[in-house]
Structure 1
């Protein structure tokens, strides 16, 4: 398997996706090299990482490759950054998510409570490193960070919504794999835990529109928000791309 729900943002400076489903050390190194990834920004909590770890040393990958021509060649160094955000303990719990508006409000609670988390997630990109940003499904935490990156790059809100809802087509496969993964590590996991009927496991257009409207009301724009969250003016300009 591989990283699913994968797509580029910001002219390819960012890749957003899921956690590394089924990647051993060799396949992980191959995936990272094939996509030119210099930094992996892992937004998962500690218990999520333990179930599906990145099999590369923190600070670089030395899995390398080998072939008939000779010994293994070290893979290019990849920075692995753990920037955890546990949605179960963050402001706005998951149990009350019943409508798309509830889901969008959950996202707003995240940026209210942890603005520095968003800034830290985007800092490697601002420093010129091609970065894979991911959580478990690459939908919620990744979706919030991606939305701010797209807004800062000057994308229209409709483009942000389209990027968010693109996850929908990938959810059936990912939920099936996630359910198997959880049952392997936590056999008592109820079957309904990964039901596609749960709003928290959907990516409806209305959720992102609610988030974007609320973000504009509360914070104005992504540039000001990220400056207040801890990025420098140079970093914010770099994230904005040419002409920012």
Structure 2
């Protein structure tokens, strides 16, 4: 499989989060998947998705995004957890950097991030996705992995990998469309196409400074110790 080839044809950035090093072992294969939306999946992709045996989808998109790009993988339990409290357009209007966007997610959507992480528990394999699988998915998966004891370098690398998974044609098309709508936005290419490792490392540093750890962040927004222990047992093979 090439760097940008998706595990499920038609689904951008679809991949398994298994095999990452952790304090107590490695993340399990075939338990947690992450991706962009499933709106362009056709018969071969739907069959590949079916073979993975996904039992639950955690969809982090807004109502408008779901209406515009409904999933096409058949009937599967779906937990809707819209993470953005503002519209996608507003982030380009405000010309936020990725770091600023992620800080807003941490500050405003902590209870929703916890709901999404809880969605990983109890029904695996599970897929967490948004539109591109970069920002909302990146933050949710990074916090879940870090709280489970995955090595920080591996958490950061998994986030950064998205950039190599986005096809060049997609990036060119999206960048041109967004630039036409928001010609003065300086951060649009970063928001639309980038996942730089230093951004996630900086965010994890801020989480640690404010909450002690990713576990502390999730605990501060409603997860209890039993759920955090179950998350570790679910994701990590010793």
Instruction: Give me the TM-score of the superposition, normalised by structure 2.
Output: 0.76
How far the C-alpha of 1:50 sits from its partner, in A, is 1.7
Residue number in structure 1 paired with 2:125: 130
2:82 aligned to which of 81, 84, 87: 84
Q: Does 1:35 find its partner at 2:52?
A: yes
How far the C-alpha of 1:190 sits from its partner, in A, is 4.0
User: Any conservation in 2 of the 1:108–1:215 contact (CA below 8 Å)?
Assistant: no
User: Any conservation in 1 of the 2:95–2:187 contact (CA below 8 Å)?
Assistant: no
User: Any conservation in 2 of the 1:104–1:209 contact (CA below 8 Å)?
Assistant: no
Helix, strand or coil for the counterpart of 1:80? strand
2:107 aligned to which of 108, 112, 122: 112
Helix, strand or coil for the counterpart of 1:150? helix
Residue number in structure 2 paired with 1:175: 171
Distance 2:224 2:146 in 1: 17
2:65 aligned to which of 44, 48, 56: 48
Residue number in structure 1 paired with 2:14: 6
Q: Which stretch has the larger CA shift, 198-207 or 130-139?
A: 198-207
Residue number in structure 2 paired with 1:23: 41
Specify whether residues 87 and 208 from structure 1 end up closer, same or farther in structure 2 by C-alpha distance, changes over 3 A only: farther
Q: Does 1:218 find its partner at 2:210?
A: yes
Residue number in structure 2 paired with 1:68: none
Distance 2:142 2:181 in 1: 32
Listed as ranges, the gaps of 5+ residues in structure 2 are 1-8, 18-26
CA RMSD of aligned residues (A): 3.2
Distance 1:204 1:21 in 2: 26
Listed as ranges, the gaps of 5+ residues in structure 1 are 62-77, 184-188
User: Any conservation in 2 of the 1:150–1:160 contact (CA below 8 Å)?
Assistant: yes
Residue number in structure 2 paired with 1:207: 199
Helix, strand or coil for the counterpart of 2:10? coil
Distance 2:45 2:126 in 1: 15
Distance 2:39 2:117 in 1: 23
Q: Which stretch has the larger CA shift, 232-241 or 13-22?
A: 232-241
Instruction: Give me the TM-score of the superposition, normalised by structure 1.
Output: 0.74
Helix, strand or coil for the counterpart of 1:198? helix
Specify whether residues 129 and 207 from structure 1 end up closer, same or farther in structure 2 by C-alpha distance, changes over 3 A only: same
How far the C-alpha of 1:55 sits from its partner, in A, is 3.6
